[in-house]
Amino acid sequence: MAEQKNGKNLTVFGQETEFDGVLQFTDNLIITGKFHGTIISEGNLELEKTSICETDSISAKSIVVSGNVKGNLIATERVELCAGSSVRGDIKTDKLRISDNVDFEGRVDMIDSVPDIDLFSVSSKEYKDSLIQKSQI
């Protein structure tokens, strides 16, 4: 099922959907079913209360978790853990919101503001390393 939301496509994996593998997308995705594998995205991801995700990693612009996730979360903009959600894994993000009644086990690395580095004069690893400021919760 795909719709338009804010000029971008919105795809929904329903409760009856089970996906196993590597998933890549660029717009918006809502998962209400089961997912096993890796998610790589430039878009927004929402994991509803009924979702069960076992991943190596989830990488997206923003990630909102209301369901259950086992695996690392990496978001360039924000991660939100909603009430009743469960996350077992590390989180790397610019902004983090954790509601009451969240079951979280892992480490949090906050992405600092973009450094004053010429992107084209350093290796991608050096640039990524300069973006991450480590802090533990």
Cβ within 8 Å of residue 81, ≥6 positions away = 65, 87, 96, 97, 98, 99, 102, 104
pTM: 0.77
Of the two residues 57 and 119, the one the predictor is more confident about is 57
| Domain boundaries of the chain, sorted by first residue | 2-134
Q: Are 48 and 33 in contact (CB under 8 A)?
A: no
d(CA 47, CA 63): 8
- Residue 44 carries which side chain, given as an amino acid letter? N
Give pLDDT, residue 91: 97
Query: What does DSSP assign to residue 39?
Result: E
User: Which pLDDT tens digit goes with each residue over 9-26?
Assistant: 888 988 988 999 999 999
Band of residue 137 on the pLDDT scale cut at 50, 70, 90? very low
Using CB atoms within 10 A of its CB, is residue 84 exposed (0-12), middle (13-18) or buried (19+)? middle
Q: What percent of the chain has pLDDT over 90?
A: 68
**pLDDT attached to residue 22:** 95
Identity of residue 97: R
The pair of three-digit structure tokens given for residue 75, joined into one six-digit string: 């978001």
